[in-house]
Amino acid sequence: MTRKLSLAVAVAGASLLAACGASDHEEIQQWMTEQRASIKPQVQPIPEPKRFTPQAYTQESAVEPFSSQKLVVALKRDSQQTGTPSAALLQPELNRRKEPLEAFPLDSMAMVGSLIKQGLPVALVKVDNLLYQVKPGNYLGQNYGRITKVTETEVVLRELVQDAAGEWIERTSTLQLQEKSK
């Protein structure tokens, strides 16, 4: 009997809870409806966009910033400063005709061999899968690199570079023989 009594109490409690839940739900719905009606959102209008006025491009005649021409203009300006030792170094380089291998950086070149041609040492330099024969007096690289010596294992160059103060100085660089990897 206690079992029937406890079951009856549980059913009665559940029905009381169900009755309370329904009325609470209606009260919440009513409150939400009142709140929606009383609150009006304040939306600020978006400002009108600014009028775009196109500007004429006036730098057509200027030197392109990524052009090698800009470097030439700067070098000529630097070389015109008279009385500086760097101007004496650079002036002959600006007045001569450029050689084809000066268009490539030195690190893109590889010495792949050497030979003696008419009694003079000649190095074989590979650039973009093309072979070039170079000898002392030829130019390599983008730093006015003039070949001073060719041996069986290296090409020695005299380059002109700017130091931290902006002065042009001579620097010695080498292009080593590249052994073919298996």
Could you tell me which residues are beta bridge partners of residue 159?
Answer: 171
Query: Considering the domain 103-177 in this protein, what is its CATH number?
Result: 2.30.30.830
- CA dist., res. 152 & res. 163, Å (int): 31
Please tell me the distance from the alpha carbon of residue 133 to that of residue 155, in angstroms, as a whole number. Answer: 12
Q: In the prediction, which pLDDT does 139 show? A: 94
Q: CB of 94 within 8 A of CB of 83?
A: no
Which residues face 80 on adjacent strands? none
Could you state, in order of their start, the residue ranges of all structural domains in the chain? 103-177
Q: What is the pLDDT of residue 20?
A: 55
Q: How confident is the model at residue 147 (pLDDT cuts 50, 70, 90)?
A: very high
Radius of gyration of the chain (CA): 42
d(CA 125, CA 82): 37
Band (pLDDT 50/70/90 cuts) for residue 182 is: low
| pTM attached to this predicted model | 0.53
pLDDT at 109 over 90: yes
What's 69-86 look like in SS3?
HHHHHHHHHHHCCCCCHH
- Other C-beta atoms lying within 10 Å of the C-beta of residue 148: 12
pLDDT band at 81 (very low <50, low <70, confident <90, very high): low
